[in-house]
Amino acid sequence: MARPTIIDVAKAAGVSRATAARVLAGATNVDPVMTSAVEREARNLGYETNFAARMLRGGRAGAIGLVLAFNEIGSLNGTFFASALKGAAKGLAAGDVQPVLLPADDEDLGRIPKFLRSGAVDGVIVILQHEITHLVDSLADSPVPVAWIGRPHGDVGPDPIVIDADNHTGGILAARALVEAGRRRIGIITGPPDMEQANERTRGWTEELTRSGIAPGPMVHGDFTVDSGMAAMARLLQRDPDLDGVFASSDLMASGALRVLQAAGRRVPLDVSLVGFDDVLPATTSDPPLTTVRQPLEDMGRTAAEILIATIAGREVERVQILPTTLVRRESL
Amino acid sequence: MARPTIIDVAKAAGVSRATAARVLAGATNVDPVMTSAVEREARNLGYETNFAARMLRGGRAGAIGLVLAFNEIGSLNGTFFASALKGAAKGLAAGDVQPVLLPADDEDLGRIPKFLRSGAVDGVIVILQHEITHLVDSLADSPVPVAWIGRPHGDVGPDPIVIDADNHTGGILAARALVEAGRRRIGIITGPPDMEQANERTRGWTEELTRSGIAPGPMVHGDFTVDSGMAAMARLLQRDPDLDGVFASSDLMASGALRVLQAAGRRVPLDVSLVGFDDVLPATTSDPPLTTVRQPLEDMGRTAAEILIATIAGREVERVQILPTTLVRRESL
DNA sequence: CTGAAAGCGCTTACAG
DNA sequence: CTGAAAGCGCTTACAG
């Protein structure tokens, strides 16, 4: 069935469309029997007020534009999220589609699904930096197509649109670079255990070390932040003071680790080699700048936009795209 | 006159509403006389297709949602722009208003004014990092209220909504900190000369040095990027190799300057003290972390959202707000 | 080639 | 307390 209208709700509840509208608007002077009938049917049908109709009637959009120069979007590269956002914004602009920001509120999980049912957007791109299980669940039965940047955990329905980086190869690249630099006692600062992308990096790293005949060193979990990188590095040094190589699953954690290493008197890269992941701004501003595994975040965002636009237009496209990761050599290795 | 409709255009052109619609849709099989009459009147009246009506008719929004967890917005702090965006997004979310991203295309200046006339948004926030004169001009006669983050150059009409940081005091704080650290040969890396905010910082710096009986040292312009900071620092060292203090008008330029200083054998802060501006992520990840003048970027974004929402709701609010800057002491001073 | 009319889905002033 | 009807602004199938 097509998106239900208020007429569908009214019919199902056996009342006039005016009454249904009143109930849905929260009016109190309506027969309680009718009220509950309307509320029940609205829920059953998954009714949500049509955004365009309300706007045409009321004259108010309920939206505010954020104007920014394109080169300001260009400056968005400080973080994973900012870079992906930048790519997506560019891709959407190229398709003459407006990007609408939908912050997912932890306290009100229903907001986004509701918004999607209102018809205000033709599709959504989800930038999955951290695993947000409830968000994934609440988008599983979206009435509009969803493109996932990063592979979602859990059930997202059949044939999802997924854009991800090749995390597994990224882990291999990091391990190989450390081994080729002559490192033999190599630890890892990985991401949260429930985050599949981090796990794949770790798997690649483990495989490549094993393949090279080197036993993987100590592993500590972080949460991708600078602070967690500092804490993780301190624990890594406790576990093996003679560590000569570290792979951190994000540049932020790597830059935290770098600071702890230097404070502990280790010279990087002389005593310890360090490889990060992401290739975001802090990788270039730290001292020494970080050798890191580059995720093509901007490309991922742009690709998500393109696939989604094509899907909405009814064109056939490859719905899963894993973009390559590459090693960017700077001075921490 | 209220926003003109296609009926207004049709009347003015002396044709039926169907004909006007055909012309506006680009149909070719319309009498040339009628065609040009419609086109002329549409232009005269500043007609733009009502977004809600088209959407209700056509069923397509022409928009795509970017779903992101709130803590991902929280990670937006790599740059001036990202932090302001983060604050604005939070402020809008609190008011239950959707943020719509409007990238300003250099090649198509008309796009944003057109969009605003379509009624798709109730207001706009402009994040002015660089001075974008043409953008300012093209928004001067916006049909919806505009909130400027950063003081716009040029004519923006009467009684504009402006949210800015106290750049002048920021410059004073930087100079005072350098002087109190015992520095006497203090150079400055400022912003582009046409950018009022950078000029105010420089003015504050100059005033405070003069007040302390210290002659301001050499000045070089940058464009707020890391690279421009590196180039500027190199020139500063040429002009005065015995410099013992530097104020850079952005943290990115400061981190570029830091690298050049260290490459030139200067220890920071032992030989040279360095103060940045903004307090964005790279200030905390550089080595040493930067002492910097903090702009409350997130507050500025949030304030812009709040003022705009209040204005749209018809509430009276203070339309100009200059938020305080503060010195954040880290280790480069 | 042009115009009168229907209809997208909603809300609310009006009549009962 | 409830319903029939008008109207927000647009586009297009239909009739001429």
A267-321 pLDDT, tens per residue?
A: 999 999 999 999 987 888 788 999 999 999 999 999 999 999 999 888 889 999 9
Mutate to test the interface with A, among B60, B67, B134 (most CBs of A within 10 A): B67
Suggest the residue from A279, A285, A308 to mutate for an interface test with chain B (most B CBs closer than 10 A).
A285
User: Which residues are CB-contacts of B107 (< 8 A; sequence separation ≥ 6)?
Assistant: none
Q: Which chain A residues are Cβ-neighbours of B50 within 8 angstroms?
A: 56
Give the tens place of pLDDT for each residue, A179-229: 999 999 999 999 999 888 899 999 999 999 999 999 999 999 999 888 999
Packing angle, helices B167-180 and B196-211, rounded to 10: 40
A194 vs B79, higher pLDDT: A194
Calpha distance B244→B255 (Å, rounded): 16
CB-contacted nucleotides of strand D (7 Å)? 1-5, 7-13
Token pair for B36: 């040009």
Listed ranges A72-86, B67-81, B117-131; the one with the highest mean pLDDT: B117-131
| Interatomic CA–C1' length for residue A146 and nucleotide C11, angstroms | 32
CB atoms within 10 A of CB B5: 16
**Band (A178; pLDDT cuts 50, 70, 90):** very high
Q: What topology is assigned to A167-294 in CATH?
A: Rossmann fold (3.40.50)
pLDDT tens, B280-333? 878 887 889 999 999 999 999 999 999 999 998 888 899 999 999 999 999 999
Residue of A nearest to B306 (CA): A64
Q: What would the CATH number be for the domain defined by A70-165+297-323? A: 3.40.50.2300
Quickly state the pLDDT bin for B266 (edges 50, 70, 90).
very high
pLDDT, position A264: 96
Residues forming CATH 3.40.50.2300 domain(s) in chain B: 70-165+297-323, 167-294
Structure confidence at residue B89 as a pLDDT band (50, 70, 90):
confident
Looking at chain B, which residue has its C-alpha nearest residue A68? B103
In this complex, the answer to whether residue A3 has its CB under 7 A from any atom of chain C, a nucleic strand, is yes
| Distance CA A17 to C1' D5 in A | 12
Strand order in the sheet with A245-248: A219-221, A186-190, A245-248, A273-278, A291-294, A326-328
Strand D close to B56 by CB, under 7 A: yes
Euclidean distance between the first and the last CA atom of chain B, given in angstroms as a whole number: 59
Please judge whether A100 and B104 are an interchain contact, meaning their C-beta atoms are less than 8 angstroms apart.
no
Residue B194 makes CB contacts below 8 A (sequence gap 6+) with B131, B153
State the burial class of residue B128 (Cβ atoms within 10 Å of its Cβ: 0-12, 13-18, 19+): buried
**pLDDT reading at A132 higher than 80:** no
**Closest amino acid to nucleotide C12 (CA–C1'):** A18
Distance CA B10, CA A67 (A): 32
Q: For chain B, what percent of residues have pLDDT higher than 70?
A: 94
The HSE-up count of residue B209 (CA atoms within 13 Å, CB side) is: 24
Per cent of chain B over pLDDT 90 is 49
d(CA A273, CA B261): 24
Model confidence at A131: pLDDT above 90: no
Tell me whether A56 touches chain B (CB under 8 Å): yes
- In three-state secondary structure terms, A104 is strand
Q: A88: how many CB neighbours lie within 10 A of its CB?
A: 29
DSSP state of A126: E
Angle between helices B51-58 and A51-58 (to 10 degrees): 140
Which residue is closest to C1 in terms of CA–C1' distance? B30
Protein residue minimizing CA–C1' distance to C6: B57
pLDDT of residue A234: 98
Residue of B103, B121, B308 with shortest CB distance to A93: B103
Task: Assess whether B114 (CB) lies less than 7 A from strand D.
Answer: no
Q: Where residue A138 falls among pLDDT bands split at 50, 70, 90?
A: confident
CB contacts < 8 Å between A and B, how many?
290
Contacts of A78 (CB under 8 A, 6+ apart): A280, A281, A282, B76, B77, B78, B79, B82, B280, B281, B282
Contacts of A56 in chain B (CB under 8 A): 50, 52-53, 56
Task: Kindly determine whether residue B65 and residue A129, on different chains, have CB atoms separated by under 8 Å.
Answer: no
Contact A41, A12 (CB under 8 A): yes
Q: Is the CB of A36 under 7 A from strand D?
A: no
Give the residue-averaged pLDDT of B28-49. 86
Does B56 contact A59 at a Cβ distance shorter than 8 Å? no
Which residues of B are less than 8 Å from A101 in CB distance?
65-66, 68, 89, 98-101
Helices (H) and strands (E) in chain A, counts: 14, 12
Strand residues in chain B grouped as ranges (E): 63-69, 98-104, 123-127, 146-149, 161-165, 186-190, 219-221, 245-248, 273-278, 291-294, 320-323, 326-328
Distance B19 CA to D14 C1' (A): 15
Q: Is the CB of A60 under 7 A from strand D?
A: no
Please report, rounded to whole angstroms, the spatial distance between the CA atom of protein residue B249 and the C1' atom of nucleotide C14: 64
**pTM to 2 decimals?**
0.84
Interchain contact, B69 vs A258, CB within 8 Å: no
By the CB < 8 Å criterion, does A3 face chain B? Answer: no
Is A56 within 7 A of strand D by CB distance? yes
User: Do B122 and A62 count as a contact with CB atoms less than 8 A apart?
Assistant: yes
A60 contacts B122? CB cut-off 8 A:
yes
Which pLDDT does position B274 carry in this prediction?
98
Q: Is the pLDDT of residue A114 over 90?
A: no
- Alpha-carbon distance B113 to B116, whole Å? 5
- Extract the tokens encoding A67: 């104007």
pLDDT in tens, B194-213: 888 899 999 999 999 999 99
Within 7 Å: CB of A56 and strand C?
Answer: yes
Q: DSSP for B269-303?
A: TTT-EEEEEE--HHHHHSSSPPEEEEP-HHHHHHH
